[in-house]
Amino acid sequence: MAYYKKEDILNYVSEKIKELNEKNIQPLNPESEVIKRLNDEEDLVGFFWIDYNQEVEGGKKIKMDGKSWYRISHNIYTDDRFAIDLYQAMKSDLTVSDIIKKRELEKEQAQIDGIADVEALERKVEENINKDGD
């Protein structure tokens, strides 16, 4: 489904929290924050978590996961990239191609400006987790 109502988002978050609790994974943002963002009609609503024990070949790896929704109208949200691009294009009086090209340029610039090495970032997060757990 590409479009969601507030109730759909809340149902997803509630079900995901149950699933995460079974795996002993703590969400990064509580359900109350999602509810507040929906009630405040914020443009972007997200729900995220980090799995510190993601099984991969050769061991375990830290994996951030989650879902976000973009508000396109009262009580209508989407997680579909094209729908978001189309909405942003209409709002900005641009074409979808313009929006995609702009996003790609921003991505390239971010890489030039020095996005952190993912493996180094994972090591740093794990170090900090281990410090907190001592």
Residues 95, 98, 104, 110, Cα dihedral to 10°: -120
pLDDT value at position 129?
63
How far, in Å, are 17, 28, 82, 106 from residue 12 at the CA level?
9, 15, 21, 31
Per-residue pLDDT 10s for the chain (134 aa) are 689 999 999 999 999 999 999 988 989 999 999 999 999 999 999 999 998 876 767 777 788 899 999 998 999 999 998 888 888 898 899 999 999 999 898 888 877 776 556 667 667 766 766 654 44
d(CA 34, CA 40): 10
Task: Annotate the chain with DSSP letters as a single string.
Answer: --EE-HHHHHHHHHHHHHHHHHTT--BSS-HHHHHHHHHTT-SEEEEEEEEEEEEETTEEEEEEEEEEEEEEETTEEE--HHHHHHHHHHHHT--HHHHHHHHHHHHHHHHHH-PPPHHHHHHHHHHHHHHHH-
Nearest Cα to Cα of residue 69 among 90, 46, 87, 88: 46
Question: In this predicted structure, what is the pLDDT of residue 58?
Answer: 74
